[in-house]
Amino acid sequence: MNPSIHEAINKAADTLRQGGVADPRREARSLLASLLRQNQTYLLTHDNDPLIQSDVEALDKMIARRRRGEPLQYITGQQEFYKLQFEVTPDVLIPRPETEAIVEVALELSRNQHDLIIADIGTGSGCIAISLLKERPDAKVFATDTATGALRVAERNARLHGVEDRLTLIESDLFNQLPREKEFFLVLSNPPYIPEQDWSGLAREVHDYEPRSALVSGTDGLDCIRRLLLDAPRFLLSGGGLVFEIGLGQEEVIKSLVDPNIWEVLEIRKDLQGIPRTVVLRKK
């Protein structure tokens, strides 16, 4: 007899616990809910229902992948970001909650602006650009990425959320292929900012599965950010904003890189852990 939903979750949680997964029961429930295409309430109200054999086998495979360290989001193929569900694959960085601050800041800066034109540099899954387009029906976004696989994911996400007509996806190394005649009110980016020497010390879920190019940027982690600071002014309107994410311990060196003749530092916003995370600059 096949196990019930309750029994399957217990077995899966035990397996994940043995594999060192931090919150095994929550993840077991998330994997089964994704497999059944149901929510957590369904699992609770149907916990005595038996699983069919194909679902038992599929769940075992998902649990084995998670025990080996593969991120939950790559197994389920989705991640929530700024109230929306996004497709994620190993071609893209998994969206993090702290990155939502870029969307929040962008909405604050553009509150009194109309017919927004925004650049999203290194778009990945498209989560920043698409979240903004959903919030601002008058906006258009030009989004770049070096990875064709990432751009395909972003394109699917744009169609999923009905904003594909206002999102232009460009294969480009930062600004290189952006239309030079465009002048943007905002340039946004969640750039790679991890130093090369820190790569090997990252958690296995990150080191073994997430795209290195979306995370690592030179010996000090700041190669990409230096280019943002140097190149963004040519694409921004006067008074326009540059908003980007930084890593732990990078606040002071970032301040030293900002040219006061070009930029006004409006804010370096802290995340929920109190870490300076989101740099907000205005072009003078």
What number of residues does the chain have? 284
Contact yes or no for 243/236 (Cβ under 8 A): no
Q: What is the pLDDT of residue 170?
A: 97
As a whole number of angstroms, the distance between CA 143 and CA 120 comes to: 5
How far is Cα of residue 153 from the mean position of the Cα atoms in its chain? 12
Q: What is the mean pLDDT of each run of 10 residues along the chain (284 residues)?
A: 90 93 93 93 90 94 95 96 96 97 97 94 98 97 97 98 98 92 93 94 92 94 96 94 96 96 96 96 96
Amino acid code (one letter) for 147: A
What tokens appear for 59 in the block?
A: 């769940």
What tokens appear for 88 in the block?
A: 């994620």
What tokens appear for 160 in the block?
A: 């999923």
Residues 6 or more apart in contact with residue 232 via CB below 8 angstroms = 175, 187, 242, 283
Determine how β-strand 276-283 pairs with β-strand 236-245. Answer: antiparallel
Q: What is the pLDDT of residue 51?
A: 93
Strand partners for 187: 119, 242
Residues 6 or more apart in contact with residue 260 via CB below 8 angstroms = none
As a whole number of angstroms, the distance between CA 71 and CA 30 comes to: 12
In this prediction the pTM is 0.93
H-only helix segments in 178-279:
204-207, 223-231, 251-257
Instruction: Strand 117-121: give its sheet, edge to edge.
Output: 167-171, 140-145, 117-121, 184-189, 236-245, 276-283, 263-270
